[in-house]
Structure 1
């Protein structure tokens, strides 16, 4: 007698780690019992008890960013907020906020209706996978689990968190594998992949995932319930759920060599942009994943424009592109781009569309930035994960756009003196070492490590105190302190003292050229009106 095929249904199986809100004092409902709070939950329990969950506790930022998009789509579909009609969309969402939780009957009906599409190992519709890969790819040349798990080294890549033995890989559980399945769909690299043959087309290269190298911004409330509702993008009046389909809702698998299915609204836009096709291979028990196929999904590129959680910028050539993830850039430097309709900057950044309505859910929303600093192909640099204090609501409460404008001014001032400090120490180093040109140096690294954390603390202090008048002098003093500390050791030599003194003018904007006929150049005064 043959055994039952492996199964791991994401609706019921615990796979999403969560952090629970503190227990409500005096509440004796069974669902509030502290003993009934598992470390991980399935999708049904996550939605049912979202009002009791503080946040999803996934430690891998790109996996959380990807999962958020899946959860937004599920929330929109379950609540009927996937369409603008009937009535007013914002009013319907506000009614849900007032209820304080998702209706248990609605959650049960929704998860029951969709349960069969969330089995990770279903032979016909495995969740976010293509079962055809078993026949279209070479079974003797699979990707393997080390390549599937994006935090492991594979091939000639460096080790991040652990060393592995490719001859005897540590097999992941389905709960671990599905998170990295999501990372591949959203952040997968371009370039070489497993060969896939579809009819007469045989190819072994793929396009980068839609979020590769980007930083996405998510509103977060006091509970997961608030976070999911605040993160919903408002659909256009022409969006219909019958055509705005998530990949697991389609009856037929798409043709890989034809044009990708069109994005018809927020649900498909959040879940159907992947350029990679994957298939997980479970062991006989279904408790471990023993192998994986990873290859291209479509020959044509799916546009990534329109993602509502990215800051979109304009290149010098006039092309729109999402702000890239930079592990060295603190989140406060993006705050004005999240709050202002038209923030300052030559790149003309546009704030994520979701923030135009997010504050309707709560005035105490934080911003969570999640991303992955990468290049377009195989190089992965660093995860990015940062959270602001509650900031979205106070712009609505306190003097509106005037505060947001001051936030933008603080950011500009902080970056101005950071950039001046960077040039000053590089110029001083070049003069001290007699280098042929100004370039990166150890002084620049040391100065940045001293200045930027101090500038961030200054930013949040002045924002909290609503003290904006003396900000230029405050940031200038921070730059001066960092410069003096980093260059102090060179003052003991004539060459060093001369180089440090000459380069210091860069902290104040550098030399100023006089008008023609006035005798050449002069140096800028050490204190300008702007710096007072």
Structure 2
């Protein structure tokens, strides 16, 4: 009978191997991962991920919410195995530079870490299963089918939106490990299993800390090792609340769901904030998950904390995910400490505050990885998405203020053109539908604006790389307008209305 699944030892994380390995690196890859091939995808456990991170180009996950939480977990473990959990100021920056110069994680340190916490990385059949609460076996009523855990399946009365697999179909251990992460960060508000703890009995759950949000990570597409090192925010971004700064697998204490603790440092901030408690039910042969318990993990709102990977706003909380919004539209909110001209003050993710201090050869390879899930706080999901920018981190305000300002100006130019396009489309729609309600207009204008940004994005990056080139945003807007209104212009009257609206784009004097 197979032994219980262990996330440190068993393969479950999809990664893509580098394509530019040297001869000695190929030999090392063959020893560590005999079946792996350059440029191809393979699965690894956490221990192998860290010992071979310098041979891996990137993570290769299919589901952004899983990747989003996994990147936080990996950043926490990176902090531990590199000693970046101590030091401040220049000493900490020097320690980070030393790690980058080494070019790989030290196997002795990695192995020592995973050996120390080995029992806590077991997914089941252990007193403290990974990211689960064993108390649910006694505190919860009933066991839900596997579809409750897999967030892309229909479950209960929820509609199918991502996967038509029946909710009763078992999950592989590898898939279950990923969805545990997703529930840890993105669990919905609403009803879970009835849980009774210390006299409190309810099935009402709070929303997870990353639900509805978009996360941004510094990212080197050709070196997972570099990505992990630069994803560790500097100490100035760490919480300083009292208590021990431990990950759930590093402590003997289970969380108190009635009185959630504020994060005491970076590790607890990245790994300990969750509103849900979960517990898996495996088959007897340990190969699949046949059920799960998902219940409330906190009776109150989580203590306030600033996540280092989200854009924070003065009003309204962190920036929410929007599947129709191109990532480049928020680029200046990532490169500048404060976005100029914004009606609501926004603050870039704190992880980027120390990126400008990186060596030039590292900085110029870094882009930004964006991971979002467009959803509401309850249980409605509209779509998740992932995007990676070209290398742009060398334009950070501290390193290249003129470049950052130029990109902000270019972004504003794009937004202004989109605004003109919207006004032209709205004018045409109202001329032909004078008696219809404004809220019906969105069904016509929104797809067109979304298409404009999709077409404008390549032009944006092309212009960013060659500032002397004049962007063709206006020409793109006119093409989108013509496509959107083609079915309208069928009579002399409608052609005249469309032509007058089109003039708002083609004739500068009539733009306003």
Could you state the TM-score of these two structures normalised by the residue count of structure 2? 0.91
- What's the offset of the Cα at 1:80? 1.3
Q: Which residue of 1 aligns with 2:477?
A: 479
In structure 2, what is the Cα distance between the partners aligned to 1:273 and 1:446? Answer: 36
SS in 1 for 2:488: helix
Cα root mean square deviation, aligned? 2.6
- What's the offset of the Cα at 1:527? 6.4
Q: Is the 8 A contact 2:281 2:291 kept in 1?
A: yes
Q: Is the 8 A contact 1:70 1:270 kept in 2?
A: yes
Q: Which residue of 2 aligns with 1:372?
A: 373
Q: Is the 8 A contact 2:152 2:162 kept in 1?
A: yes
Q: Which residue of 2 aligns with 1:433?
A: 433
Q: Is the 8 A contact 2:123 2:129 kept in 1?
A: yes
Q: Is the 8 A contact 2:7 2:177 kept in 1?
A: no
Q: Which residue of 1 aligns with 2:106?
A: 103
Question: Residue by residue, what CA displacement relative to the aligned partner does 1:239-260 show, whole Å, maximum 9, x if unpaired?
Answer: 6998111122221212222x21
Q: Which residue of 1 aligns with 2:29?
A: 32
Q: Is the 8 A contact 2:215 2:371 kept in 1?
A: yes
Q: Is the 8 A contact 1:18 1:53 kept in 2?
A: yes
Q: Which 5+ residue runs of structure 1 have no aligned equivalent?
A: 510-523
Which deviates the most, 267-276 or 345-354?
A: 345-354
SS in 2 for 1:36: coil
Shift of the 305–494 alpha-carbon distance from structure 1 to 2, 3 Å rule, reads farther
Question: Mapping of 1:35-50 within 5 angstroms?
Answer: 36-38=34-36, 39-50=42-53
Question: Residue by residue, what CA displacement relative to the aligned partner does 1:92-133 show, whole Å, maximum 9, x if unpaired?
Answer: 010010011011111121111121211111432111111110
Q: Which residue of 1 aligns with 2:262?
A: 262
Question: Mapping of 1:268-283 within 5 angstroms?
Answer: 268-283=268-283
In structure 1, what is the Cα distance between the partners aligned to 2:395 and 2:163? Answer: 43
Q: Is the 8 A contact 1:195 1:202 kept in 2?
A: yes
Shift of the 197–330 alpha-carbon distance from structure 1 to 2, 3 Å rule, reads same
Shift of the 196–400 alpha-carbon distance from structure 1 to 2, 3 Å rule, reads same
Question: Mapping of 1:234-249 within 5 angstroms?
Answer: 234-236=234-236, 243-249=244-250
Question: Mapping of 1:111-510 within 5 angstroms?
Answer: 111-138=114-141, 141-166=142-167, 169-221=168-220, 222-236=222-236, 243-257=244-258, 259-315=259-315, 319=316, 321-344=317-340, 345-359=342-356, 360=358, 362-363=362-363, 364-395=365-396, 400-439=400-439, 440=441, 443-445=444-446, 447-467=448-468, 470-471=470-471, 474-504=472-502, 506-507=504-505
In structure 2, what is the Cα distance between the partners aligned to 1:414 and 1:10? Answer: 45
SS in 1 for 2:409: helix
Shift of the 150–493 alpha-carbon distance from structure 1 to 2, 3 Å rule, reads same
- What's the offset of the Cα at 1:429? 1.5
Aligned length: 498
Q: Which has the larger radius of gyration?
A: 1
Asked if 1:11 is matched to 2:8, the reply is yes
- What's the offset of the Cα at 1:227? 0.5
Q: Which 5+ residue runs of structure 2 have no aligned equivalent?
A: 37-41
Which deviates the most, 480-489 or 401-410?
A: 480-489
- What's the offset of the Cα at 1:286? 1.1
In structure 2, what is the Cα distance between the partners aligned to 1:482 and 1:240? Answer: 52
Q: Is the 8 A contact 1:426 1:438 kept in 2?
A: no
